[in-house]
């Protein structure tokens, strides 16, 4: 059984909106995609991977990350106590990427950068973070 096209006529004297105004959603803010490659020389020496525009804060919506050595990464907001804004990646096997596509971590402080630390000195991380910048 085939499908049948529906033919609609438009009354030019009284045109109707194609989409009712009540059904139009707000426009999403475009995501920023920030690739990175950083080496954490020693534990506690963070590397900046995202600096938002002055007056805005980052909201990290996802990331992918990998390292050629065993260990894990620690995302932090720059300039705050180490545990005020912190979350760890999973323990990663060498060369096995971790992809987390659906999170929502907002920086508590405006204009603060997102940094990356490591569980082991000398880890090299490559990956991408993505998200938005907001007030």
What is the average pLDDT across 99-111?
A: 88
pLDDT bin (cut points 50, 70, 90) of residue 92 is confident
Domain ranges in the chain?
28-134
CATH class of 28-134: mainly beta
- For residue 133, pLDDT over 90 is answered with yes
Whether pTM > 0.85 for this model: the answer is no
d(CA 47, CA 78): 9
pLDDT bin (cut points 50, 70, 90) of residue 78 is confident
Q: Can you tell me which residue has the tokens 């300039």?
A: 79
For the chain, the average pLDDT equals 82
Detail the DSSP E strand segments found in 1-122. 32-40, 47-50, 57-66, 73-77, 86-88, 98-100, 105-106, 114-118
d(CA 9, CA 4): 16
């Amino acid at each position: 059984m085939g499908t049948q096209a529906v033919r609609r006529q438009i009354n030019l004297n009284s045109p109707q909106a194609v989409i009712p105004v009540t059904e139009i959603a707000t426009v999403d803010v475009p995501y920023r995609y920030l690739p990175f490659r950083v080496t954490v020389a020693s534990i506690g020496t963070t590397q900046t991977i995202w600096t938002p525009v002055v007056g805005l804060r980052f909201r990290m919506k996802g990331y992918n990350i990998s390292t050629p050595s065993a260990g894990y990464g620690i995302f932090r907001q720059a300039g705050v106590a180490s545990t005020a804004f912190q979350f760890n990646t999973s323990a990663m096997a060498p060369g096995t990427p971790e992809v987390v596509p659906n999170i929502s971590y907002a920086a508590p402080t405006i204009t603060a950068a997102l940094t990356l630390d490591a569980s082991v000195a000398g880890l090299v991380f490559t990956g991408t973070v993505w998200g938005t910048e907001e007030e």
